[in-house]
Amino acid sequence: MLNQIVGKHAESKKLESNILQISQDAKLMKAKHADVIDATVGMLHHEEGNVFKYQVVEDLLHHLSDAEIYHYAPVRGTNAFSEGVVNWVFGNHTQTIKEHFHYSVIPTTGGSGAISNTFYNFNDFGQKVLIANHYWTPYENFAFEANIELTTFQMYDDSDCFNIEDFRAKAMDLAHKQKRLCVLLNDPCNNPTGLCMSPDDWKAVVSVLNQVADEDIPVILIHDIAYVDYQLKDPQYSRETFLSYLDFHPNILAVVVFSGSKTFSLYGFRIGAQIGISKSKDIIDQFVRVGDYSVRGRFSSVSQPGMNIIGKIFTDPHYQNQFSQELIHARKLLKDRAILFMEEADKQGLKILPYCGGFFISIITQNNNIFKDLVQEHVFVIQMKKLIRIAISSLKLQDIPRLVSILRRHI
Amino acid sequence: MLNQIVGKHAESKKLESNILQISQDAKLMKAKHADVIDATVGMLHHEEGNVFKYQVVEDLLHHLSDAEIYHYAPVRGTNAFSEGVVNWVFGNHTQTIKEHFHYSVIPTTGGSGAISNTFYNFNDFGQKVLIANHYWTPYENFAFEANIELTTFQMYDDSDCFNIEDFRAKAMDLAHKQKRLCVLLNDPCNNPTGLCMSPDDWKAVVSVLNQVADEDIPVILIHDIAYVDYQLKDPQYSRETFLSYLDFHPNILAVVVFSGSKTFSLYGFRIGAQIGISKSKDIIDQFVRVGDYSVRGRFSSVSQPGMNIIGKIFTDPHYQNQFSQELIHARKLLKDRAILFMEEADKQGLKILPYCGGFFISIITQNNNIFKDLVQEHVFVIQMKKLIRIAISSLKLQDIPRLVSILRRHI
């Protein structure tokens, strides 16, 4: 009988499904069969099948100095990166946010690293984070690895709108039970559903958080904005959400999760950031203290070339302008696919969840076997609880009518 | 009174000293004063002051395909990377190791990520890892972040040799107390001391580990080989150590920590690997299960360009040969500085710890204020418990006599 080699908390760790692995399987089948449709991984691709890279990113990568490529990155990040990320994320509202809040930026290994660190630092072991019932499954892995759990509220009400009533009920209940409320919202352009919460939804959410904070219960809002630059409307519209922050109770900590992977197609570099925002200086001091520690205590520092590319784009108007122009093309690629998908779905009678932007369209299904059924038809999607997620980011326009028809048959 | 926003286990997290931060301070002073000697960070530099980059790495970086740069890396790593790392690390003994052991490779965010993951997965919360009393201080951060502690044995005996007696005593004691023995040894070319354990030292260590494993106590050896390619003797000599593994008790898990930062100067990329080695297939299955999970649950995947550069160098004889040639130059840079430093120390009567390779030379000191004293002389080193660490990796030959003289005065 073998002794217990792994730690007690790691005994039941097991990767159940892995989106990146399924994507590898799709690639393998595609090498054999030309008709394979791979709608698995959230990486933006051109119609021709190659990844959408930003030329300004590419040019900068090949013109960084040796120090900008090879040296260790500073744990706290360069000023160009940190201030640049803040300016980009908050857009027209940056000054307003800076006037009302203390803030700090911790560079992380992608958005994933930011969420993982925050889960670990801002919960006691065994506590639960509140999250919508449709969610990107790696959140489960981040939670289990941090020795915490997830608990859900219903994302939609009967009209397919954000279910503020269920959010309020579950938030109050959890806050009272465990004397801590840590909420994760992935908005705008939710992965997997494509939902964008309205300004009124956000006002209502903030009101619930304030009610909890009024009871002197710690409140942490993790705001994952990975797809902030890819909504159907003008990206500035995505930033309106942050105005709801102005009403925050002084003791609330918001951690805004920025993804260099999505905004710059730097998926393979692992660069992102967590932006801590609070009206309390003490809370931001604590955010910095534990965040810095986790960077050093988990991987020492982040991607130096990734950090420098982003720092340059965000601080040089020429590069930023070039990037913004390219982003328009990226958004158009997505928009054309989304519109065709929605038209085809409408025509063929396939009910999809309301989509307002981002890399994914989702469909509720009762078919528990749908992943395998679709693979038989040479279609790869990601199956989550009661839905399938279609990565329009990597779909070709010409495949969409056929895909909708196949989905229609198996849903 | 503010409520407790961070989790209980994170309450006392605080970065006490940060080598990367001290290095930033040194750079700032150097911009003002030409005579500043910066011997802080372990990055190999040319005499002219620029980082030692490998031309083969540089050429490959600028000729990777878009997919090899931008796509997410597979969580399990490419075959070229994983097999390449194994072949490189074990050198002439690869076949022997493969014949006697099960093994698996998990790509990580540098050597730091490998150690952090292993600390977290292979200890119960609150348990202790045994380590030499002179150690790279970030190990403390990896431990605290993993909710475990470090405990030490005396590295040296009275003859400045590896203190196997104290290792045995502390290992047996810890194993019996907590019913788990997790040991971290940084060898060859120890950071900070420059010690290389002899084949006899390793035999004796394995004998202690076996004795513990015989009592059905889990034994994990974390073998940090970050500086394996930088010893004074031929690097193949560094690989002789692995022959001692052949005597392992069947239930021992060794986790060999490979650093892409050090071997390839890819410091800023965050790429490394943990190689799990055991005679037990079950143990390697568990190593893979929890290791994969930690990659996904902490940062999703590692650096794709870093992984592909290393994969290509390790699998293409042309690139590997070019790299090996450049490595000879890198080692000569270090060797020239080490020899001059040892000669000067001898001449000026400065007693250093025995150095056999790697980026650092260390000196025992009783001066608790030495860091500040040296900064006053425009010299930056890293102070650790009872010693100072000199990064010869970033020293210029011409600065060495003056440095030794300044050290002599303050030690």
pLDDT mean over B142-149:
97
pLDDT mean over B50-55:
97
- pLDDT of res. A41: 83
CB atoms within 10 A of CB A248: 22
* CA dihedral of residues A142, A145, A146, A149 (deg, nearest 10): 70
Residues 345-384 of A with CB under 8 A from B: none
- Distance (Å, rounded) from C-alpha B8 to C-alpha B26? 35
Structure tokens at A146: 């941090």
* CA dihedral of residues B279, B285, B286, B291 (deg, nearest 10): 110
CB within 8 Å: B267 and A7 = no
Which of A281, A264, A274 shows the shortest CA–CA distance to A76?
A274
CB within 8 Å: A61 and B75 = no
How distant, in Å, are the alpha carbons of A25, A38, A156, B276, B340 from that of A31? Answer: 10, 12, 39, 32, 57
- Distance (Å, rounded) from C-alpha A212 to C-alpha A219? 7
CB within 8 Å: A5 and B283 = yes
CB within 8 Å: B299 and A270 = yes
Which of B199, B287, B284, B211 shows the shortest CA–CA distance to B245?
B199
Poorest-pLDDT segment among B21-25, B70-74, B200-204 = B21-25
Nearest residue of chain B to residue A14 (CA atoms):
B289
- pLDDT of res. A1: 42
Nearest residue of chain B to residue A76 (CA atoms):
B21
Q: Please name the member of A4, A145, A296 whose beta carbon is closest to the beta carbon of B297.
A: A145
- pLDDT of res. B164: 98
- Identify the band that residue B16 occupies on the pLDDT scale cut at 50, 70 and 90: confident
- pLDDT of res. A235: 82
Nearest residue of chain A to residue B21 (CA atoms):
A74
| Residues of chain A with C-beta less than 8 angstroms from the C-beta of B75 | 18, 20-21
Q: Please name the member of B72, B145, B293 whose beta carbon is closest to the beta carbon of A20.
A: B72
CB within 8 Å: B142 and A297 = yes
Which of A118, A130, A222, A216 shows the shortest CA–CA distance to A171?
A130
- pLDDT of res. B174: 98
CB within 8 Å: B297 and A144 = yes
pLDDT mean over B252-281:
96
Residue-averaged pLDDT of chain B: 95
- pLDDT of res. A128: 98
Q: Please name the member of B66, B116, B121 whose beta carbon is closest to the beta carbon of A298.
A: B116
- Cβ–Cβ < 8 Å for B162, B353: no
DSSP assignment string, A73-86: PPTT--HHHHHHHH
CB within 8 Å: B21 and A62 = no
- Distance (Å, rounded) from C-alpha B101 to C-alpha A389? 41
- pLDDT of res. A217: 97
CB within 8 Å: B123 and A299 = no
Residue A31, chain B, CB below 8 Å: the answer is no
Tokens 């159907």 found at? A232
Q: Please name the member of B6, B251, B296 whose beta carbon is closest to the beta carbon of A15.
A: B296
* ipTM surpassing 0.90: yes
A290: Cβ–Cβ under 8 A, 6 or more apart, which residues?
A: A121, A122, B6, B10, B13
| pLDDT tens series, chain A, 411 aa | 456 899 999 988 888 767 777 888 898 999 999 999 999 988 999 999 999 999 999 999 999 999 999 999 987 889 999 999 999 999 999 999 999 999 999 999 999 999 999 999 999 999 999 999 999 999 999 999 999 999 999 999 999 999 999 999 999 999 999 999 999 999 999 999 999 999 999 999 999 999 999 999 999 999 999 999 999 998 888 899 999 999 999 999 999 999 999 999 999 999 999 999 999 999 999 999 999 999 999 988 899 999 999 999 999 999 999 999 999 999 999 999 999 999 999 999 999 999 999 999 999 999 999 999 999 999 999 999 899 999 999 999 999 999 999 999 999
- pLDDT of res. A163: 98
- Is the pLDDT at B88 greater than 50? The verdict is yes
Residue A265, chain B, CB below 8 Å: the answer is yes
- The predicted model scores a pTM of 0.95
- Distance (Å, rounded) from C-alpha B192 to C-alpha B151? 17
Three-state SS at B345? helix
- Is the pLDDT at B313 greater than 60? The verdict is yes
- Distance (Å, rounded) from C-alpha B281 to C-alpha B277? 9
pLDDT mean over B259-270:
94
- pLDDT of res. A3: 66
- Distance (Å, rounded) from C-alpha A43 to C-alpha B34? 47
- Identify the band that residue B1 occupies on the pLDDT scale cut at 50, 70 and 90: very low
> In which element (H, E) is residue B183 found?
strand B181-186
Residues 47-106 of B with CB under 8 A from A: 50-51, 53, 61-62, 66-67, 69-76
- Identify the band that residue B235 occupies on the pLDDT scale cut at 50, 70 and 90: confident
